[in-house]
A = this chain, B = another copy of it.
Amino acid sequence: MKLQQLRYLNEVARQDLNITSAADALYTSQPGVSKQIQLFEEEIGLQVFLRNGKRLTGITEPGEQILSLAAKVMHQIDNIKRVGDEFSNIETGTLTIATTHTQARYKLPAVVKAFMTAYPHVKLNIHQGNPSQVAEQVAKGDADVGIATEYISDFENLLCLPCYEWNRCVVVPHGHPLLLDGALTLEKLAAYPLITYDFGYTGGSLVSKTFSEAGVSPNVVLTAIDADVIKTYVTLGLGVGLLANMAYDPERDSNLAMVDVSHLFPNSTTYLGVRKDAFLRGYMYGFIELMAPKFNRKAVNEALKISGTSSL
């Protein structure tokens, strides 16, 4: 059995059982991939892939398990390489962050700036997606850390660290009747067309839950994943915007008025997630600490130790 074979298997599974595109992705020849997979299946003594004649049509039951194990092996091989990088090229490498739009746009800039100053030789990638995509990317090892609200703890092999709590505000054009009508309630809010986050995005489901538990039906006329989009439509007079506190900037958004509604909704917690079995580079600990100061290197290791089987 060769590592190459496991790598090939993985990539074929990734590429929807298309050997040709797997070969392309691996920068090698297609017959080579085909051959190694045959050799692997011969050595193991069973088929990983179901075939209809020559086409791959599916994955066998044992194949599923083998692919899952192969993915773990490849991940640990990556970890081994990282150990090398960590100890030789101190503080150079890549940090891939998966996060939602809200975090990327309003919370991360300050953190990223501090990070880039502290680790100028680390290349940064930011992947954007909804919370479950964020979690999935981290779980698969496509991202080193994920930052999102809710959902992220669904995956068994992720360690979730609470970073900070936040709440919501309402934005309206200046002179809007809501501004004149005393303290805001869910009922008053529901009287106006509402523009807010997609459910399934940053704290979206918590909002709908709060409304429904209060027996109030909000009139959501438009949803977006993007606070800037929401503000744009509010500016056009299409409705009242409900978004994260941190997404309102008094200077930049001077054409809108803001009303805090923390008293109407429970706080949402933003979590940072890492794979329990990942080898964390020094600068990754650094990033985590910038994001959630109480989680220094020691605290993260402690959390990893408690949570998982990971016996690094």
| B70, B86, B307: the one within 8 Å of A62 (CB) | B86
**Chain A, 69-94, CB within 8 A of any chain B CB:** 69-70, 72-73, 76-77, 79-81, 83-89
**A3 — which chain B residues lie within 8 A by C-beta?**
1-3
| B46, B69, B86, B88: the one within 8 Å of A88 (CB) | B46
Is A279 on the interface with B (CB-CB < 8 A)? Answer: yes
Q: Is the CB of A156 within 8 A of B309?
A: yes
Q: Is the CB of A279 within 8 A of B65?
A: yes
**Chain A, 117-163, CB within 8 A of any chain B CB:** 156-157
A143 CB, min distance to chain B CBs, angstroms: 17
**A65 — which chain B residues lie within 8 A by C-beta?**
83, 279, 312
Is A101 on the interface with B (CB-CB < 8 A)? Answer: no
**A80 — which chain B residues lie within 8 A by C-beta?**
1, 6, 44, 66, 69-70, 73
A69 CB, min distance to chain B CBs, angstroms: 5
Against B, the Cβ 8 Å flags (1 = close, 0 = not) of A290-306 are: 00000000000000010
Is A182 on the interface with B (CB-CB < 8 A)? Answer: no
**A215 — which chain B residues lie within 8 A by C-beta?**
none
Which A residues contact B (CB, under 8 angstroms)? Answer: 1-3, 6, 44-46, 61-62, 65-66, 68-70, 72-73, 76-77, 79-81, 83-89, 156-157, 276-277, 279, 305, 307-312
